[in-house]
Amino acid sequence: MTSTPTVLALGANLGDPLAALRGAITALDQQPVITIESVSSFYQTDPVGGPDQPVYLNAVVLAETTLTAHELLAVAHEIENSWQRTREVRWGARTLDIDIITYGDLVLLDEVLTLPHPRAGEREFVLVPWLEIDPNAVLPGIGPVRELAAAVATGAVRQVAAATTTRSHP
């Protein structure tokens, strides 16, 4: 079965965000159809949009999967739900958020999934951790992550903890 590279962005700002991000990485790693290639450091970031809320902890995961993009989204939602993720307020505080940023070079727009993620190129909290683990990354149809990160740089993304790079399912 063909494996597809994917970029996932993780974020949390309720409960224990560090535990949530680590738990999400572990849950992804335990999926036999997902191989984690690299995990960024953890970054503290100010909320973007939405209501007043606590700062976020964010990270980016590079992985390979044999799942379809929609199957991967379903797995992400299952992991979010295991951390009691709720969706009452758009861009509101959350216990865990897992976004699919890219799925190979797939460009997709349907009722449940847009790829690449429509705001990834504008979000420093995605671009900075992604750039850390893939200095040559390109956001399909948009451009090099290095250039995108430079264009939105505010210094509001602060590295707080290094993550151990993981390689699962040898």
* CATH number of the domain where residue 10 is located: 3.30.70.560
Is 105 among the residues known to form the active site? no
Of 94, 110, 119, 146, the catalytic one is 94
Adjacent-strand bridge partners of 64: 5, 35
Q: How far is CA 47 from CA 55, 69, 121, 169, in A?
A: 6, 27, 16, 34
Assigned domain for 148 exists: no
Is 99 among the residues known to form the active site? yes
What is the Cα–Cα distance from 6 to 105, expressed in whole angstroms? 9
Cis peptide before 17 (omega within 30 of 0): no
pTM listed for this prediction? 0.90
In the DSSP assignment, the letter for residue 118 is: T
Residues in the chain with pLDDT < 50? 165-170
Of 22, 97, 123, 134, the catalytic one is 97
12 phi-psi bin (left φ>0, alpha ψ -120 to 50, beta other)? beta
Give me the pLDDT at residue 46, please: 83
What is the Cα–Cα distance from 31 to 24, expressed in whole angstroms? 11
Counted residue by residue, the chain has a size of 170
Query: 3-state DSSP call for residue 7?
Result: strand
Assigned domain for 108 exists: yes
Assigned domain for 54 exists: yes
Range of the domain at 102: 4-117+156-161
Work out how many domains the chain is built from and give that number.
1
Assigned domain for 134 exists: no
Assigned domain for 104 exists: yes
Is 119 among the residues known to form the active site? no
